[in-house]
Each structure stands twice: as C-alpha cells, then as structure tokens.
C-alpha cells in the first residue's frame, strides 16, 4: 500500500510517498481502508520536532513511527477473530492516537479505540474534519469546566480546533467571543460565535472585558495579557502550549485563583459517539479548507505550516468522497 513517510525532522519536503506492507489486523483489531485523513497542526509540529523535546519522545533523528497522521475516515475491510463492536463494511471515523499511521491507505486500529460509525449523509472528507478538533476542544472545555452563561473567548477561532471549539462551547451554553481575521468573521458567526474580534485591528486584552475562560487554540496569544483578561477564578486553556508556558501555567495555578490548563488530551470512543449524535442533530458541522491527495502530502503540510487555514486540511486517498 501507499504511505507518506517522514524521513527526518524538518521541512515538508522530507515527506516521501512510498510502498509499505499492508497491515493485518490482530484478533482485537479492525483493518480500515482509509478514504480520508487530515493534516493537523499536531502532525506538522511532530514533523518539525517543534518543540525540540519531541525528539526525546518520538525519536531523535526521525520519528520512530514514520507514517504520521492520526485522523481516519474509512471503511472496515476486515476484522480480527475477537472483534464484536464492528463488522466488515462499517464506515468509521476517529483517531489512531499515538499509533499514528493514518497517512496511508490502510491502518489497523483496536476495536476499543477512539472510533464511531460515520453519520449517514456525511462524506469521508467531512468525517475526517471532525476528530482532531473535536477531541481536543472537548477535552479542554471539560477541563475548564465551561458552563452555561459563562463568557468564553476562543483565540484562533477559524482553525481546525477553533471552529469546533465554538460549536461545542455554544452547545454547553456559553457566550462565545471568537478572535480571528475579519475575513473569517462571517464563518465563525455562522458556527455560533456571539461576537468577533479581528486580531489585526483590536487587542482583546485591552478592551476591559473579563472572561471566564480563554481558549488559545494556536499558541499565539500573550500569556501575561490573557491572564489579566480572566475573571478572578478564570481558566486559561492552552492547546498548543510551549514548555515555558506549561511551567508558567503550573506556577500560576499553584499560587493563584486563576488556573492554566495544558498538556496531553484524553480521547475516548464515548466522545466520538457524542460527536456523532451532535452531527446527526445538526449541532456540529465540519469545516474544510483544502483537500489534497496523498501524493500532495508535502503541499498539505506546507499549507498547514503557513498558519492561515480555515478549518481542516484534508487528505483524500482517491477511494471516493
């Protein structure tokens, strides 16, 4: 089968399309024929080894698991002897977690993994635009204990994580302020944002408004200024925290009433079932920026690196939409 391998850390040009052995499912696994995946900011950060500590976790010179990608949307081709939750022919979407391997034509996933059946009338491309942003957004909103009536600001609201965070925060009953460029203002309002701040022309930390939660989805907000814009018991949610921000956050949380939440997210199959129900109720929509083929993986990564995408960058394996 075809797969995109990361041959060493650095530029998108270090990604190579190559032929690798098609995997065989173990007794508790399903083999998914992947129709669509996505290139996430997480994929790009691992490829770049940004931050440097990634080398200590995933491999010093290159990723030990050279086929990146965590999002899958496809059809089950075969199952292990003990699988009972899924059957051949089921259309599923979800994530592979730390196993990666989704930038390939096939991948084996444990039947108890972060998976659910794709809602009817949803394309594979649309399904691939949900898991990354949804699992991360839900994790941080829960950790931040976001409730109905609270004021929540989402920084980087037009990206893969931000577009989902808006919708989930509204589902929780929060008043949502979206920070993005003016050109994306209409889109985020359609998704549910109550107000929009154009970061190019206005600094939200200078408008005097206090928020119960500030969700920085892209790691570009000012730590100190954002902290001052929280209520006395407010929470700062950092989806892309640097090591320095994590340390400052731990210190802030330890000695003050304001809390800073970062770190690795937790994903579950129950979460995917929750997203499936929201999609079926027309309360969660996919946002797609661009669709690339697997052979265009370098261009897809370069587009993510540029930092201006609207929603998700999708990889379609050309098996169909």
Instruction: Find out whether 281 and 304 touch, Cβ atoms under 8 Å.
Output: no
Mean of the per-residue pLDDT values of the chain: 95
Res. 321: pLDDT tops 90: no
- Mutual angle of helices 269-280 and 131-143, in 10-degree steps: 110
- At 193 the three-state DSSP class reads coil
Q: Which domains does the chain show, CATH number per domain?
A: 2-130+286-316 (3.90.180.10), 133-261 (3.40.50.720)
Q: Give the mean model confidence (pLDDT) for residues 278-305.
A: 97
Res. 289: pLDDT tops 80: yes
Instruction: Find out whether 74 and 116 touch, Cβ atoms under 8 Å.
Output: no
E strand map for the chain: 2-6, 15-19, 29-39, 71-79, 91-95, 106-110, 115-117, 151-155, 175-180, 195-198, 211-216, 230-238, 259-261, 288-293, 312-316
CB atoms within 10 A of CB 82: 10
Could you tell me the end-to-end alpha-carbon distance of the chain, in angstroms, rounded to an integer? Answer: 19
Q: What does the alpha-carbon distance between residue 128 and residue 291 come to, in Å, rounded to a whole number?
A: 11
- Mutual angle of helices 297-306 and 41-48, in 10-degree steps: 100
Q: What does the alpha-carbon distance between residue 232 and residue 256 come to, in Å, rounded to a whole number?
A: 9
Q: What does the alpha-carbon distance between residue 144 and residue 141 come to, in Å, rounded to a whole number?
A: 5
CB atoms within 10 A of CB 81: 8
pTM listed for this prediction:
0.94
pLDDT number for residue 249: 86
Q: What does the alpha-carbon distance between residue 314 and residue 40 come to, in Å, rounded to a whole number?
A: 9
Q: Give the mean model confidence (pLDDT) for residues 170-194.
A: 97
pLDDT number for residue 242: 79
Q: Give the mean model confidence (pLDDT) for residues 55-59.
A: 93
Instruction: Find out whether 268 and 136 touch, Cβ atoms under 8 Å.
Output: no
Beta bridge partners of 33: 75, 106
Instruction: Find out whether 259 and 213 touch, Cβ atoms under 8 Å.
Output: no
pLDDT number for residue 319: 60
- Measure Cα distances from 170 to 36, 175, 177, 188, 226 in Å: 28, 7, 10, 12, 21
Res. 192: pLDDT tops 90: yes
Q: What does the alpha-carbon distance between residue 166 and residue 38 come to, in Å, rounded to a whole number?
A: 20
Res. 320: pLDDT tops 60: no
Instruction: Find out whether 165 and 188 touch, Cβ atoms under 8 Å.
Output: no
pLDDT tens for each residue of 70-119: 999 999 999 999 999 999 999 999 999 999 999 999 999 999 999 999 99
Q: Is 242 exposed, middle or buried (0-12, 13-18, 19+ CB in 10 A)?
A: middle
Q: To the nearest 5 percent, what fractions of the chain are helix, strand and coil?
A: 35, 30, 40
Nearest to 284 by CA among 84, 151, 150, 131: 131
Nearest to 318 by CA among 291, 293, 288: 293
DSSP result, 214-231: EEESSS-S-HHHHHHTEE
């Amino acid at each position: 089968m075809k797969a995109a391998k990361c041959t060493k850390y650095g530029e998108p040009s270090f990604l190579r399309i190559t032929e690798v052995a098609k995997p065989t499912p173990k007794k508790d696994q399903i083999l998914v024929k992947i129709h669509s995946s996505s290139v996430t900011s997480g994929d790009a950060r691992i490829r770049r080894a940004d931050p440097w500590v990634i080398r200590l976790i995933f491999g010093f010179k290159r990723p030990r698991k050279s086929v990146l990608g965590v999002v899958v949307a496809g059809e089950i081709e075969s199952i292990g002897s003990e699988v009972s939750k899924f059957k051949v022919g089921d259309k599923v979407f979800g994530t592979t977690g730390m196993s990666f391997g989704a930038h390939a034509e096939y991948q084996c996933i444990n039947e108890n993994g972060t998976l659910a059946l794709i809602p009817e009338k949803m394309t594979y491309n649309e399904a691939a635009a949900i898991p990354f942003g949804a699992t991360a957004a839900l994790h941080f909103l829960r950790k931040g204990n976001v409730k109905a009536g609270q004021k929540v600001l989402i920084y980087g609201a037009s990206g893969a994580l931000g577009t989902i965070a808006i919708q989930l925060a509204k589902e929780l009953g929060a008043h949502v302020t979206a920070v993005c460029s003016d050109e994306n203002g209409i889109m985020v309002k359609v998704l549910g944002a109550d107000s929009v701040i154009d970061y190019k022309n206005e600094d939200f930390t200078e408008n005097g408004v206090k928020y119960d939660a500030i969700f920085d989805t892209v790691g570009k907000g000012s730590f100190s200024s954002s902290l001052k814009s929280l209520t006395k018991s407010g929470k700062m949610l950092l989806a892309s925290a640097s090591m320095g921000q994590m340390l400052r956050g731990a210190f802030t949380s330890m000695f003050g009433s304001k809390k800073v939440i970062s770190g690795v997210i937790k994903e579950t199959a129950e979460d995917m079932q929750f997203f499936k129900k929201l999609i079926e109720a027309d309360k969660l929509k996919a946002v797609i920026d661009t669709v690339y083929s697997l052979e265009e993986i370098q261009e897809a990564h370069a587009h993510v690196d540029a930092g201006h995408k609207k929603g998700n960058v999708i990889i379609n394996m050309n098996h169909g939409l």
